[in-house]
Amino acid sequence: MLLLLAAVLVPAASASQDAARRDRVIGVRAAQLARAGQCTEAIGLIDSRSGAPDAELELLRGRCEIELRRYVDAVATLEEARRLDPTLRGVSLQLAVARYHQGDLDGARQALDEAKAQGASGPEFELYTGLLLLQGNDALGAANTLDGVRGLGPSVDQAALYYEGIAWATAEERDDAIEALEKVIEMDPGSRWADEARQALDRIDGGQRWWAWVKAGIEYDDNVVLLSRGSQLPEDISGAHDIRGVWELHAGSEVWRDRDWASGVSFDYYGRAYEDLDDFDQHFPVLGLWLDRRLRETTTFRLRYDVGYSWVDDAPFLFTQGLTGTIFQDWAELGRSRLFVRGYWDDFLFSKDDDVPDGPGTPGAFCNSPRDIICGPVGIDERESRNRDGFGIGFGVEHDLPVQAINTEFTTGYRLDRFDADGADFSYLAHQWFIQSRTKLPWDLLLRLQAFYTYRPYDNASTFPDPADLLFNRQYPLQERRRRDESWDLLVELEKRWTGRLSTSIRYGYTDQDSNVTLFAFDREILGIYVTYRFGG
């Protein structure tokens, strides 16, 4: 009997010891993954344990859930860790962090008081102490607490310095606020926190929430008129390429803000003037109004209305207006996402194409009247079919991903556009994919690369003939298949920052559009040099 009992118990004890050893290995490996920033994998390993819940591993899981912005899960996990071991150090501080980002400020203060009673200290403790003081309207206490908070990583250190500047400004300590916010810009001039700091400096300097930049340059365009392959220029145009001056102005003002809401107005103006082809000179101002609503600590919804009016050669060209709803989501080290939907209406104000006289009904046959230079297929009203006015709706998603190891931020996205034109020629469904990068180089250089691919299938065949088929006093043929366009757009830009306000840049752009309608197939290259000046920081 004893031998039988030993035969049963010994393997069971051995299996139990093996499971315990396996769980210890899992715990060590999960901690290594978490330190390396691989929190999803770390949580998966913790879930694979077979033993009883462990307080230290639950604390590790809670830290990872905070890193992944899963604050509701983090609060539940950390409370379970505290239940398992009420004396475990570090749980209360992480509870304060999770509750703060969840929007539970009272709960965060309570957890932070518990952490303080347990002897908590260090940059993370001071950061959230300062943030809670700022939320509690103790601006001076927040500024003094946040002063010198460093060591949490480049982006978090920059955020802490930004909030220190805001706290000094709220406490009406102008010089200290300016010093802190200028340091934010110096740490990473192209970051989101630097942009926020510039806007804060604008408010300090002028007492208004406004910002602006102006950009001017000279460009060489080798295909101003978008001349298609194989077609001829009109008689009154001597060439397709030209040099032009270009300028852009962007200005915005935040007119109202509280904790969860903000609204403002913006103005954009784009202009160009050619040396020879002044028929293509353009002026295009756009006025925008926007309203922001913070949904969570990391999520914001923006509603924007914009209206624009364009002149070409001093004649009205386009009236456009649109309404866009965008959700912005911040994923911390994993980047930022934008999901948007936009409805817009375009009204082209230039003279519509004339109707082409109908031919006899046979391609290549002589027109019905000897006075007709050309004639088209029977029954087509070209003036009506080529009306570009219409309504569009677009959906899109974009994501920014910073890669600190190579000082680069990548952005990629997809957009779907549906445009219903009044004329049958210009209704389409378009798909666009893009990827771009922004790399900080030595000597305050910034390299931007962009690549766009657009596929645009139209609803109908085109009423535009192939230029090679146009014969005097003959009916031209039309293809029966629906129009299809696809284009590649590539851009390379190198910018040199001389100061926080002034920069110069050189840019090269290339477009290659293919179409089964010859008139809309073209290549284009643009080379330009520019100067940009930023106001308010």
Do residues 49 and 71 lie in contact, with contact meaning Cβ atoms separated by under 8 Å? no
Question: 3-state DSSP call for residue 1?
Answer: coil
Q: Could you tell me how far CA 176 lies from the centroid of its own chain?
A: 32
Query: What angle do helix axes 154-170 and 123-135 make, rounded to 10 degrees?
Result: 30
> Between 140 and 321, where is the model more confident?
321
Q: Which of 45-49, 53-57, 383-387 has the highest mean pLDDT?
A: 383-387
User: Is 50 exceeded by the pLDDT of residue 237?
Assistant: no
Q: Mean pLDDT for the chain?
A: 82
For residue 431, being part of any structural domain is answered with no
Q: Could you tell me how far CA 481 lies from the centroid of its own chain?
A: 37
pTM, two decimals, is 0.63
Q: How many CB atoms lie within 10 A of CB 83?
A: 12
pLDDT digits 0-9 by tens, 351-400: 777 889 999 989 999 999 999 989 999 988 888 888 889 999 999 999 98
Q: What percent of the chain has pLDDT over 90?
A: 29
CA-wise closest residue to 339 among 413, 274, 436, 407? 413
Q: What is the pLDDT confidence band of residue 234, given thresholds at 50, 70 and 90?
A: very low
pLDDT for position 485: 92
Q: 100: exposed, middle or buried (C-beta count within 10 Å: 0-12, 13-18, 19+)?
A: buried
Do residues 307 and 286 lie in contact, with contact meaning Cβ atoms separated by under 8 Å? yes
Q: What is the pLDDT confidence band of residue 249, given thresholds at 50, 70 and 90?
A: very high
End-to-end CA distance of the chain: 87
User: Is 70 exceeded by the pLDDT of residue 332?
Assistant: no
Q: How far apart are CA 417 and CA 428, in angstroms?
A: 8
Q: How far apart are CA 376 and CA 357, in angstroms?
A: 6
Q: What is the pLDDT confidence band of residue 296, given thresholds at 50, 70 and 90?
A: confident
Give the mean model confidence (pLDDT) for residues 128-145: 79
For residue 445, being part of any structural domain is answered with no
Q: How far apart are CA 384 and CA 361, in angstroms?
A: 20
pLDDT for position 269: 95
For residue 257, being part of any structural domain is answered with yes
pLDDT for position 203: 66
pLDDT for position 20: 65
pLDDT for position 154: 67
Which runs of consecutive H residues, i.e. helices, occur in 70-173?
71-84, 91-102, 105-117, 123-135, 139-146, 154-170
> Between 54 and 337, where is the model more confident?
337
pLDDT for position 239: 53
Give the mean model confidence (pLDDT) for residues 469-491: 92
User: Is 70 exceeded by the pLDDT of residue 202?
Assistant: no
> Between 357 and 75, where is the model more confident?
357
For the ranges 139-153, 308-322, 385-399, which has the lowest average pLDDT? 139-153
Q: Which domain holds residue 345?
A: 210-294+302-327+341-389+452-481+490-535
Classify strands 390-403 and 408-421 as parallel, antiparallel or unpaired: antiparallel
pLDDT digits 0-9 by tens, 23-40: 677 777 777 777 777 788
For residue 12, being part of any structural domain is answered with no
Number of domains in the chain: 1
What stretch of H or E contains 186? helix 174-187
> Between 492 and 235, where is the model more confident?
492
Q: How far apart are CA 27 and CA 49, in angstroms?
A: 9
User: Is 60 exceeded by the pLDDT of residue 6?
Assistant: no
Q: What is the pLDDT confidence band of residue 152, given thresholds at 50, 70 and 90?
A: low
Give the torsion sign (CA, 351, 353, 354, 355).
negative
Question: 3-state DSSP call for residue 344?
Answer: strand
Contacts of residue 216, defined as CB under 8 A and 6 or more positions apart, other chains included, come to 245, 246, 247, 248, 530, 531
DSSP assignment string, 349-387: -SPPPPPPPB--SSTTSBPSSTT-S-BB-TT--HHHHT-
Tokens 């601006």 belong to which residue? 139
Question: 3-state DSSP call for residue 442?
Answer: coil
For residue 112, being part of any structural domain is answered with no
pLDDT for position 345: 95
Give the mean model confidence (pLDDT) for residues 311-317: 87
CA-wise closest residue to 179 among 150, 196, 201, 207? 201
For residue 359, being part of any structural domain is answered with yes
For residue 238, being part of any structural domain is answered with yes
pLDDT digits 0-9 by tens, 409-467: 899 999 999 999 998 889 999 999 999 998 888 888 889 999 999 999 999 999 888 88
pLDDT for position 284: 93
Backbone angle region of 332, left / alpha / beta, with phi > 0 → left and psi within -120 to 50 → alpha: left
User: Is 60 exceeded by the pLDDT of residue 5?
Assistant: no
Contacts of residue 208, defined as CB under 8 A and 6 or more positions apart, other chains included, come to 202, 253
CA-wise closest residue to 263 among 288, 287, 286, 290? 290
Q: How far apart are CA 164 and CA 176, in angstroms?
A: 9
User: Is 50 exceeded by the pLDDT of residue 238?
Assistant: no
Specify which residues 392 forms β-bridges with. 344, 419
pLDDT for position 82: 82
pLDDT for position 233: 43
Q: What is the pLDDT confidence band of residue 51, given thresholds at 50, 70 and 90?
A: low
Q: How far apart are CA 480 and CA 465, in angstroms?
A: 11
Residue 172's Cβ-side half-sphere holds a number of Cα atoms within 13 Å equal to 0
Q: How far apart are CA 506 and CA 496, in angstroms?
A: 9
pLDDT for position 155: 65
For residue 470, being part of any structural domain is answered with yes
pLDDT for position 15: 52
Contacts of residue 462, defined as CB under 8 A and 6 or more positions apart, other chains included, come to 425, 478, 479, 483, 517, 519, 520
Q: How far apart are CA 325 and CA 327, in angstroms?
A: 7
